[in-house]
Amino acid sequence: MIKVLITEDSPVVRGYLKYILGQDPDIQVVGTAQDGEEAVRMVEMHKPDVVTMDIHMPKMDGFEATRRIMESNPVPIVIVSASWNPEEVDKTFRTMEAGAVAALEKPRGMGHPNSESSVKELLQTVKLMSEVKVVRRWSKYKTAKPGAPEPPSPSAEPGIRARPDTQLVAVGASTGGPMVLQTLLASLPKDFPLPVVIVQHIALGFLAGLRDWLGRSASMPVHIAEDKQQLVNSHIYLAPDGFQMGIDRYRKVTLQKDVPGYTLCPSVSYMFKSVAESFGDRAIGVLLTGMGRDGAEEMRLMKEKGALTVAQDKESSVVHGMPGEAIRLGGATFILPPEKIAGKLVDLASGARREGK
């Protein structure tokens, strides 16, 4: 049984979450807290496997509660937030910095067209996050001991560089991705010689908050991509909600709705396939933490066409599904932790021509 503590100040939402989670035979709700102070105490008392965390609460909000829990009794924390509230969305990403491992929109009530899918996502996330190993505070990524040699990456031969006419870096991420993206993008220089296009699976309504949050630490401008937008070097583009994002051979964004054959929208697989077809060996692909296999086969396709590819390593991934599958399929040129991916991208792209600036 997966023991879950619910933290939510609204009695109605608290009751609904208890009902949803209590219906699953693999989950036991061990307690409910109506504010952050109570949550901190109940984590110590009940030792849950997962905590669902509201953001806006009296006495102590979700950010402070998460920070204290991760300092004293680390446990996977799933934020369950109201995506319509910009202030709450902003604090959601700050809470992820404090150690929360995932963020979801509050489940829709019965009768809403998205009710079933939102309930399914909550249950799936709680179960998956119960298996995540967290550490005190928010140092999720194990730091190598001084002097310890870096494990070798497949094909990581000295002197590998991208082609001088390389066109872009394409990045895919899902569960655990926002914190890794923050680490990665904050470490890229403002004159990075390529555009960076990203598909990050995220709950509906959180994308603008993600853009703003990443923009505070990134040295390059961060945009939500628009249809027919021309990519510019030293800029970052996030795939918008509800569209499949491709890149054509002229480095223009193409957005499409209702593309058959893809269960996720936006899909990393769709973007990677378009990049492989448009640019072949003139692209760099990066696949980060996430559940499932979205993008894995298409990363292999990119590599087969000559692109250089980077997969996040298992030790640093919240969930190693997507990058792990790419590695298993032979789709990764390099396997690296987040703090070393940016350096590798700079190294690979060092010979790229600065066009389109």
Q: CB-based burial of residue 228 (10 Å sphere; 0-12 exposed, 13-18 middle, 19+ buried)?
A: exposed
Domains 2-129 and 168-351 share a fold: yes
What class has domain 2-129?
A: alpha beta
pLDDT confidence bin for 299, thresholds 50/70/90: very high
* Distance in angstroms (rounded) separating the CA atoms of residues 351 and 341: 17
Q: Is the pLDDT of residue 140 over 50?
A: no
Q: Check the CA dihedral 139-205-169-172 and report its sign.
A: positive
* Distance in angstroms (rounded) separating the CA atoms of residues 39 and 278: 50
Catalytic (active site) residue 191:
no
Active-site entry in 174, 187, 316, 317:
174
* Distance in angstroms (rounded) separating the CA atoms of residues 76 and 43: 11
Q: H helices within the chain, ranges in order? A: 11-22, 36-46, 62-72, 86-97, 115-129, 177-186, 207-217, 268-279, 296-304, 321-328, 338-348
What's the pLDDT tens digit per position in 239-287? Answer: 999 999 999 999 999 999 999 999 999 999 999 999 999 999 999 999 9
Catalytic (active site) residue 187:
no
Active-site entry in 294, 316, 317, 320:
294
pTM given for the model: 0.89
* Distance in angstroms (rounded) separating the CA atoms of residues 52 and 104: 10
Catalytic (active site) residue 201:
yes
What class has domain 168-351?
A: alpha beta
Average pLDDT score, the chain: 90
What single DSSP character describes residue 350? G
The ranges assigned to domains in the chain are 2-129, 168-351
SS3 229: coil
SS3 30: strand
Active-site entry in 83, 118, 201, 235:
201
What's the pLDDT tens digit per position in 304-327? Answer: 999 999 999 999 999 999 999 999
Average confidence (pLDDT) over 46-75: 95
